[in-house]
Structure 1
């Protein structure tokens, strides 16, 4: 097997070897690894804010999206010593005192060098918790609530948009007014709500579950809160469980490992209203997202204090 072609680049003050830049990772669009690295470099000033100090779970496609993939939580072997990391128990608690006991050492992605290193390993998808770690590596209370809208067979983004609009005033009634809709880059979408960071994850999960149950009762023809597959055709699952401390959700601005380089893309509420009315509302590709960031900035800025 020929040795992988490598190029040395300087990124955020570090020299990194990136390889196989011409390798096609998305055959349907002939999108190469070099183009993927370029996307992440261009979107990094926006994406890094959303990654924050959140442990990052990656999904890797070493041979492109038509090949096998795997989830990776732990740091891979051979990782450089400068890459930030945090050791947590499998339940999300600080495990630095006993790292050998049911623990995971996650990377943190704090600058472009960290991001480039992981993306060079064909980490197309970046998934994060709804909480960050403090400077000592201990989990903080969640600073976001997320409702994940997953359409069953026969439903799609139009139905998700309708459910998102129903959820919006209910979240506002709970005092959650800094809300951001995000099309997932896959089938459905998410609605994020900024939190003050004063409640633990169990409380937030219970709040999301109660919201899902309330919406199912109000709209039983379209919303379901249980994951039972037989209940889901033609309906939208309001997945409250993404707020469980151990769960992760794809990070806004992350690529997805789908047939084409779609992105988990923040949207405007006007776009969601158009989608709910049956007008054009589609998942966005990486070039479209870069154009939107250049024109509008971060459409998910509401998730941060001060917007």
Structure 2
């Protein structure tokens, strides 16, 4: 029998709690749900007003993975959705995970959480800029940190403050809180920034995705600022061999990174970090910290 759990007055059927999702560490689905319940207060402000896309991996990262923007079949009527403009589907809607019951319902599907840089009701008006720093082997997150330090200073010169988080995979994400700005303008600025980084750091950075250009370098992916694109949310678990999290990090940690293990955080480590440091990404959800594009 599937256990029914009451979360803030909502009935949620939680299934297969003993199922191992991350075989390398034995991390179970029940532990996935417990992790999300524990970090909910930090996670929800970063996703609560944004149309949600899910990367589902119900049988673990070694099983079938599928990315969906449409509300999953069987979504409860109390799970909110919002209209999302799509040329191929004018009536499209996506889930908005705005509270703990919706978060636990979604986590029960075993998903990565991905959101755009804009909020529901204001499509293509971004309040964040994001740069995804993706290392091409043999480069690692160590090289990403070097690129991130340059980008931090360059953004600061334009009056913008960057916040860093691990991708939960191999790289690093930089996020910048913005006053609401059309996504096209943010995309153009981010592309110029990536091109400038490549000119200034030609042995370290590339701004184009072509695989032939990327060995040993950091691809500064600016494309996720496009209105139709999404980025892994802060605190989401990733579909990797271990229960790694896209975890906010402090700049001194970026400065001190000397090995990939220095910036790889498992779910239980993120819970400990949150208890110690609070939400390092909190300024991104505070309009008082929003900068303006030059």
2:292 corresponds to: none
Report the Cα distance in structure 1 between the residues aligned to 2:135 and 2:259, rounded to whole angstroms: 15
TM-score, normalised via structure 2 length? 0.94
Report the Cα distance in structure 2 between the residues aligned to 1:106 and 1:52, rounded to whole angstroms: 12
**Post-superposition offset of 1:139:** 2.0
Assess if the C-alpha contact under 8 Å between 2:133 and 2:220 holds in 1. yes
State yes or no: 1:82 paired with 2:78: yes
**Post-superposition offset of 1:279:** 8.9
Report the Cα distance in structure 2 between the residues aligned to 1:280 and 1:75, rounded to whole angstroms: 36
Given candidates 118, 137, 156, the residue that maps to 1:172 is 156
Report the Cα distance in structure 1 between the residues aligned to 2:58 and 2:113, rounded to whole angstroms: 15
State yes or no: 1:141 paired with 2:141: no
Report the Cα distance in structure 2 between the residues aligned to 1:251 and 1:133, rounded to whole angstroms: 15
Report the Cα distance in structure 1 between the residues aligned to 2:215 and 2:31, rounded to whole angstroms: 37
**Post-superposition offset of 1:102:** 4.6
DSSP 3-state at the match of 1:205: helix
2:250 corresponds to: 268
1:196 corresponds to: 179
State yes or no: 1:119 paired with 2:107: yes
Assess if the C-alpha contact under 8 Å between 1:29 and 1:260 holds in 2. yes
**Post-superposition offset of 1:201:** 0.2
Report the Cα distance in structure 2 between the residues aligned to 1:104 and 1:255, rounded to whole angstroms: 26
DSSP 3-state at the match of 1:160: helix
Moved more, 278-287 or 152-161: 278-287
Count of aligned positions: 288
2:283 corresponds to: 302
State yes or no: 1:110 paired with 2:93: no
1:209 corresponds to: 191
**Post-superposition offset of 1:280:** 5.9
Deviations 1:10-67 (A, max 9, x none): 1122111111100111011101100000000000011000102111100111212221
Assess if the C-alpha contact under 8 Å between 1:180 and 1:192 holds in 2. yes
Assess if the C-alpha contact under 8 Å between 1:157 and 1:281 holds in 2. no
DSSP 3-state at the match of 2:236: coil
**Post-superposition offset of 1:296:** 1.0
Structure 1: stretches of 5+ with no match in the other structure: 92-99
Structure 2: stretches of 5+ with no match in the other structure: 290-294
Report the Cα distance in structure 2 between the residues aligned to 1:114 and 1:169, rounded to whole angstroms: 38
**Post-superposition offset of 1:80:** 1.2
Assess if the C-alpha contact under 8 Å between 2:126 and 2:178 holds in 1. yes
Give the superposed CA RMSD. Answer: 1.5
State yes or no: 1:185 paired with 2:168: yes
